[in-house]
With several copies, the nearest count.
Chain A
Amino acid sequence: MTASVAMHLSDGVLDAPTSLLFGAIAAVWLTLAAARGRIDIDDRTAPLAGLLAAFLFAMQLLNFPVLPGVSGHLYGGALAAILLGPWVGSLCLSVVVVIQALLFADGGLTALGANVTNMALLGTAAGFVVALAARGVARRSRAGLLSVAFLAGLVSTVAASAGFVVEYAIGGQADVSLGGLAGVVIGVHAVIGIGEGVITALAVGAIARVRPDLIYLVRTSEARQPAAVAS
């Protein structure tokens, strides 16, 4: 869940060189992701990526309060990783982050590089690594799949927030104690991540029941064979 400053960074939190640096990092990663995870408009990756993006985008309109004056919404890094795999998952999340910035002013335009790095890259990758490591559990039973989805949601949220700590250390505009900052940011996101984990698990559970073939994580190696699916 994204509820705090660490997720949709605004303009002015980082200095200009740092903003550009992370813009470059994001661009390089996305180029790599685009090469590895092809968006083939003829198979199901394109509609699934588009729909997940739309869903995350729409969920943002259904903000719910987390703290007074602060509301949160589903972030979706782990969900994207589990449904689409790490590469297309990154691409999908980056579209969400960019369009949110352009249409909602959610996250600064100059902070786009940093925000894409945190949410589309770090969060998605961390969620996928967790899910991949526990893939055996996920395939064995429904409870296994749900627990793995929960954990991936939690870890991806924390990972994305950790990205912010690093960025702030490099180009933050105020001289705050980094240890304290890291403690607060990561601590808060461990709590927020529980919400993210629960929603991720519920969503994956609902999808697994009806369309297990949509879940990248449990698809067998012949990913294009829709009938051969573990459920």
Chain B
Amino acid sequence: MSASLDVRGLEYHYPDGTTALAGIDLRVEPGERVAVLGPNGAGKTTLVLHLNGVLTGTGRIEVAGMPLSPGTLREIRRRVGVVFQDPDDQLFMPTVADDVAFGPANFGVTEPELAERVQAALDAVGMAGHADRSPMHLSEGQRRRVALATVLASDPELLVLDEPSANLEPVARRELADVLLSLDRTLLMVTHDLPYALQLCPRAVLIDNGVVVADGPTRDLLADADLLAAHRIELPWGFVPHP
């Protein structure tokens, strides 16, 4: 069976010349849950933006055995669901319900299934009561929850989340963990929240300066104090990893 995601030698430079990715190699097997760690400016978001072809650097990306190319773009976008780091980038329809319906509708889901999916996704993030409001008029955390719902509604095979827990209230944060654990999907999660990474992802990769500098079981990676310190990562105050 082919890998869920296979990235080889991915490089990207922003138009102003900044090198964000300097040769990323990453292979994720179906069903794996992988945390992507790394300091600010490491290139995590830039990597995420490549996984469904919204940025195109040089190198090779395969999703479920399918090389990313103009011809496969649409199919790959159907399979890869990305939740962006900033919900303002993600939400653009006049109402929350429209926004959640946008993805599945584009991928050919029709009524009545569409309405069911929207309802289920909004329930999963606890925002069903806000379906008819404008996403623009929500609090930051509410917007992030809607952004998550927009992608859950498309039910992608590979779920890519960029800092999903930022700005979430503690209970919503735990509920999201429950939802993610209950989905039987391949998961790639960028986060600075190490306890959350440890809770959700058996495997972690550490990125710095646009390359993968470590890849292994999350527990081992977080136990390597020298490695972490070299890349501006450390366990937060008061956190005690369970044995």
Asked if A209 meets B70 with Cβ closer than 8 Å, knowing A227-B13, A227-B15, A229-B15, the reply is no
How long is the Cα–Cα vector from A42 to B52 in the complex, in angstroms? Answer: 12
Count of chain A residues near B, Cβ 8 A: 9
Judge whether B94 and A209 touch: CB under 8 Å: yes
How long is the Cα–Cα vector from A196 to B226 in the complex, in angstroms? Answer: 60
Task: Note all chain A residues with C-beta closer than 8 A to B17.
Answer: 227
How long is the Cα–Cα vector from A132 to B134 in the complex, in angstroms? Answer: 30
Q: Tell me how many residue pairs across A and B have CB atoms closer than 8 Å.
A: 19
How long is the Cα–Cα vector from A209 to B16 in the complex, in angstroms? Answer: 10
Judge whether A42 and B73 touch: CB under 8 Å: yes
How long is the Cα–Cα vector from A213 to B15 in the complex, in angstroms? Answer: 7
| B contact patch SS | loop
Task: Note all chain B residues with C-beta closer than 8 A to A42.
Answer: 53, 70, 73
Which range holds the interface residue count of chain B? 10 to 19
Of A210, A213, A226, A229, the contact of B94 (CB 8 Å cutoff): A210
A36 within 8 A of B: no
Judge whether B15 and A211 touch: CB under 8 Å: yes
Residue of B nearest to A212 (CB): B15
* B102–chain A nearest beta-carbon distance, Å: 15
Asked if A210 meets B13 with Cβ closer than 8 Å, knowing A42-B70, A42-B73, the reply is no
Residue of B nearest to A210 (CB): B134
Task: Note all chain A residues with C-beta closer than 8 A to B134.
Answer: 210
How long is the Cα–Cα vector from A227 to B11 in the complex, in angstroms? Answer: 13
- Interface 1/0s, chain A 198-231, versus B by CB < 8 A? 0000000000011111000000000000110100
* A4–chain B nearest beta-carbon distance, Å: 35
- Interface 1/0s, chain B 94-136, versus A by CB < 8 A? 1000000000000000000000000000000000000000101
Of B15, B70, B73, B136, the contact of A226 (CB 8 Å cutoff): B15
Task: Note all chain B residues with C-beta closer than 8 A to A229.
Answer: 15
Residue of A nearest to B137 (CB): A210
How long is the Cα–Cα vector from A227 to B17 in the complex, in angstroms? Answer: 6
- Interface 1/0s, chain B 69-94, versus A by CB < 8 A? 01001000000000000000000001
Task: Note all chain B residues with C-beta closer than 8 A to A212.
Answer: 15
A residues within 8 Å of B by Cβ?
Answer: 42, 209-213, 226-227, 229
B residues within 8 Å of A by Cβ?
Answer: 13-17, 53, 70, 73, 94, 134, 136
18 contacts between A and B (CB under 8 A): A42-B53, A42-B70, A42-B73, A209-B94, A210-B16, A210-B94, A210-B134, A210-B136, A211-B16, A212-B15, A213-B15, A226-B13, A226-B14, A226-B15, A227-B13, A227-B15, A227-B17, A229-B15
